[in-house]
Structure 1
């Protein structure tokens, strides 16, 4: 279940005069990589609901709302270099996260009811800067990036870079990219596992020794390293295809500390309407992910383009998945495009996944996070784009290049989970 305000001026130096003019070579025109500053403003609104919250061991409300405005600014530093800065703020309210401490609200604790305590809402912030340099012939592009993200329970810093080569009169493109992310957890354990929690302070029923397996994590870091390669080829005037491969290696704390697990061989311990967890999620401290994909676009005629995407994914936790997506942009005149889309996804379950109260306490690893369960998912969407290359509408020295409005409905057919995603973006170009 993540991510646009400066003016920039261009100065041309004209060389004139008669001194040694006969020895000077004529200046060859070189098109700038980016003609002027571009600003993209994006805002998305996301809602979801379901009954398999990982915070409460795969049983409980998954209701969540998220508002995420972001701004992306691309600045041409000269003919060859572009600096891009992206900033996103994500403010969410989560019923499941509120039940990290279900006893901090006025209502009786219940996994299917949101607590009104401090853990109900939070804000995520992310910032990325990318610097790209293109060669004089525009056949080589080298870029580097740095990123930072922070939330209430973790911080992340990332570094990466890529090199892109164009061949065959720019009909063939090969790209290699590498990235590394270094995360630090600030674990927010469920309230019953925290120091100071005393079961005798509550009226309870069941097993008083509800957490005999529990110990805190000693390693609170998580590192991720990825390498990706893509090959794009224009096959004809009407077909373009690209093949994509990615490998991700992770190590460290890959479990989520605030997600509970319930054992089938333990008697439940009830406080009000809430069952106390027997342990927290425990997963292997290494993971290898491999993904192979293809994107192919078919130009059908001047009004229709078919865009297709397929990806196969596998990892050493036991998950295999297939993703298929199709999009059909339909041009409505010179400035408008309507694009319906559909995405299908299916995956197998992770080796260590178990439903509520089915896991055995003697297992080494376990989770009840339904993101790691077996399921099928469908996503239906519609988008509308206004595009004006002449930027006729001007606002504060910027011309409006495009407006994009998109809506998607997502559902998992094997679980009672659904989501709605609406996004709106504006792209401006400095005049």
Structure 2
């Protein structure tokens, strides 16, 4: 009889536990309720007078249009597949001067040539698969990407893992990525038939990155995060069509264009470290404050500081505006010098002002519309949110740029 009672008790316990597990699985919230589609578009323009293609002096005029589609597909309660594809079509006055004589007018570093290098299209495709644990405290993902341009091809892959604990108030994460790139080296036209010119013998470039993250909900109104990123690059880190002119070599001027003495030559390794932190404060139901700071350093001699602030202001239940400001400062690389200031005896040299000492300011404003119920529809998709932003960027070197971007988020009914 005692054994029978024990068996009944164990059976009832097993049934109750099994029923609780079934109820947990039955009512488990899906990571993504339905398929979502994001359509993004950006339009970028810039102007300046320090083009690296023409040795650090010349037009930097450029326009770029990038449409992007991101499709997030729930495979089941726990797994999501994200497909991200984009096409970046640009027109560059500076890169057109890879061959400045391919034009009817006089060759001039401040005038765009009509050559084939004036226009290009960069196509990228990325697929990401993510899985969340039943308690939603662990999330891992893997990704693969491919990118192609007329002189450049890249394949990438990586993964990430995040762990939430302390009642989901704390999160630690790690991510790693590898990019295997290949150049199809294009050289300045005047150097291609120069017997003294030495082409690069290795046109590959590999990049390896490791990122660590930590975030913490500090109070009902305050959240902070820290990040550390390590990047190792190897291979052809120079841009083959960027000219360099030497101060100890007589200038050769054809028409109104100073011919290059060589192309940019940089070390074949580079190690980068970036450390950053974010602090978000919820002031009240109408205003929040988002701040960010990052310190960057590498073994090429560049050190930089980035600081930004954004103030989301809720003006109605559905509309929010986003004024923002970003400041950036960096020191110049060990191998940088402006137009016609390098010496031919140097091993490494560049006149790319992206590697110079400069300060930059960026001013932005945005507006977003959010409807969590997605009442507006296009075919079988409900419109969940709309976002438009404008940013103005300026450097003390004279470069300035405008960026217009927008996005629409749809979810399938």
Report the TM-score, using the length of structure 2 for normalisation.
0.94
Counterpart of 1:76 (choices 52, 71, 74) is 74
Counterpart of 1:308 (choices 291, 315, 318) is 291
Q: CA separation in 2, counterparts of 1:390 and 1:138?
A: 24
Q: CA separation in 2, counterparts of 1:125 and 1:343?
A: 29
**Structure 2 equivalent of residue 289 of structure 1:** 272
3-state SS of 1:25 partner = helix
**Structure 2 equivalent of residue 418 of structure 1:** 400
Q: Which segments of structure 1 move beyond 4 Å, counting only runs of 4 or more?
A: 21-24
3-state SS of 2:190 partner = helix
Q: 5 Å matches for 1:4-153? A: 25-26=19-20, 27=22, 28=24, 29-153=27-151
Q: CA separation in 2, counterparts of 1:117 and 1:55?
A: 14
Q: CA separation in 1, counterparts of 2:317 and 2:50?
A: 47
Q: CA separation in 2, counterparts of 1:348 and 1:323?
A: 12
Q: CA separation in 2, counterparts of 1:316 and 1:281?
A: 18
Q: CA separation in 1, counterparts of 2:345 and 2:212?
A: 41
1:30-66 CA-partner distances (Å, limit 9, x unpaired): 1100000010000000000000000000000000000
3-state SS of 2:38 partner = strand
Counting helix residues as a fraction of each chain, which structure ranks higher?
2
**What's the CA shift for 1:119?**
1.1
After superposition, the Cα gap between the structure-2 partners of 1:291 and 1:53, relative to the gap in structure 1 and judged at 3 Å, is: same
1:191-240 CA-partner distances (Å, limit 9, x unpaired): 01113x7xxxxxxxxxxxxx84x300001000000000000000000100
Q: CA separation in 1, counterparts of 2:36 and 2:278?
A: 26
3-state SS of 1:98 partner = helix
3-state SS of 2:275 partner = strand
After superposition, the Cα gap between the structure-2 partners of 1:22 and 1:67, relative to the gap in structure 1 and judged at 3 Å, is: closer
**What's the CA shift for 1:390?**
0.8
**Structure 1 equivalent of residue 163 of structure 2:** 165
**What's the CA shift for 1:25?**
2.3
**What's the CA shift for 1:24?**
6.0
Q: 5 Å matches for 1:190-269? A: 190-195=188-193, 212=196, 214-269=197-252
1:1-29 CA-partner distances (Å, limit 9, x unpaired): xxxxxxxxxxxxxxxxxxxx999625222
**What's the CA shift for 1:118?**
1.1
3-state SS of 2:322 partner = strand
Q: CA separation in 1, counterparts of 2:44 and 2:69?
A: 18
Q: CA separation in 2, counterparts of 1:114 and 1:22?
A: 77
Q: CA separation in 2, counterparts of 1:194 and 1:88?
A: 33
3-state SS of 1:425 partner = strand
Q: CA separation in 2, counterparts of 1:142 and 1:412?
A: 39
Gaps of 5+ in 2: 1-14
**2:348 counterpart of 1:365:** yes
Q: CA separation in 2, counterparts of 1:338 and 1:104?
A: 47
**What's the CA shift for 1:245?**
0.3
Q: CA separation in 1, counterparts of 2:211 and 2:367?
A: 31
Report the TM-score, using the length of structure 1 for normalisation.
0.90
After superposition, the Cα gap between the structure-2 partners of 1:278 and 1:386, relative to the gap in structure 1 and judged at 3 Å, is: same
Gaps of 5+ in 1: 1-20, 198-210
Q: CA separation in 1, counterparts of 2:341 and 2:304?
A: 24
